[in-house]
Amino acid sequence: MDVSPEHLVEQARERFQLQDYYGAIHLLEEVITTGRAFADAHHLLGLSYSLVGQQDPALAQLDRALALNPHYVEALVHRALVLNELGREAEADAAFRRAAQIGGVPRQGFPAHVAAKLANHHARLGDAYLESGGLATAIDQYHAALALGPAFHDLRYKLGRMLLEAGRALDAREHFEIIVRARPNYLDAAAMLGLACYLAGDGLAAKAVWEDCRERRPEDPRVEAYLAMLARNDNAALPQVLAGAAASPDTEPPPPRSGDGGSEGAGGRGRGRGGRKTGA
């Protein structure tokens, strides 16, 4: 049975709570190999490595989490602790200062770390609804998560995918555009932006996006499939292309994960084009 990365991370959290750190490491490494790990998976893996005394791989995973989300306060704190263990006191002090600076930015009236935890809870609840077939409710939960963490682009990416599945291409396009503006090198989000443009009836925009993706990642077979579909204007091929996109693991690191850190500001839920709701 195919187990989703989200489910594996939840299993790893359970092993971690039971202090089975090696069990957590095994599950999280499996998530990492899918290419679809978010910042909180890297953070938990780094913390697990640290607790079994493997500080070098712990630091590597915490750095990976912070590369995906520079505002991840808990990852900064644990990185500082690992740096202290490695005798790198000056770097540890800088990490502590950075964590203190970020942790003071409130969102939606909540302290940053509280808002981030609430955003994570909404996202996990959304995942549970999605696995149970409740797509519309899952979308609502992800909107709520993004209201608390508007810069959590991993959540925005998943919301965009769900909106496409729900047939809301215009709303999905808005979210992918936000991600691409914030993370122009995140080509998986760019590829999905092209797909959203195509499904919204804007073939010219889709072509421009996909040609740019092909230029920057010529080895990606999905982009070639999208461009071939566009050239044929073969709507009958769309279900197979969509299935391939869903099954293909992300080859570019996902955008910043919510984790327990975050960034400033929060967006309320408004109306997208065509009267659709959007979390942008």
Average confidence (pLDDT) over 178-205:
91
Length of the chain equals: 280
CB-based contact 256:68 (threshold 8 Å): yes
Range(s) of the domain holding residue 15: 5-103
Cα-flanking dihedrals φ and ψ of residue 16, to 5°? -65, -45
- Sequence-distant (6+) residues with CB within 8 A of 80 are 91, 92, 93, 95, 96, 99
CB-based contact 185:254 (threshold 8 Å): no
| Domain at 49, CATH number | 1.25.40.10
Cα-flanking dihedrals φ and ψ of residue 155, to 5°? -65, -40
Q: Is 207 inside any structural domain? A: no
Q: What CA–CA distances, in Å, run from 264 to 48, 85, 152, 207, 256?
A: 28, 31, 10, 34, 13
Q: Is 67 inside any structural domain? A: yes
pLDDT of residue 273: 37
Q: Is 58 inside any structural domain? A: yes
pLDDT of residue 276: 40
Q: What pTM, to 2 d.p., does this model score?
A: 0.56
pLDDT of residue 250: 47
Q: Is 99 inside any structural domain? A: yes
Q: Is 144 inside any structural domain? A: no
- Count of domains for the chain: 1
What CA–CA distance (Å, rounded) separates 280 from 278? 5
pLDDT digits (tens, 9 = 90+) for 26-72: 999 988 887 777 888 899 999 999 999 999 999 999 999 998 888 78
- Taking each continuous run of H as one helix and of E as one strand, the counts in the chain are 14, 2
CB-based contact 107:148 (threshold 8 Å): yes
- Sequence-distant (6+) residues with CB within 8 A of 276 are 168, 170, 171
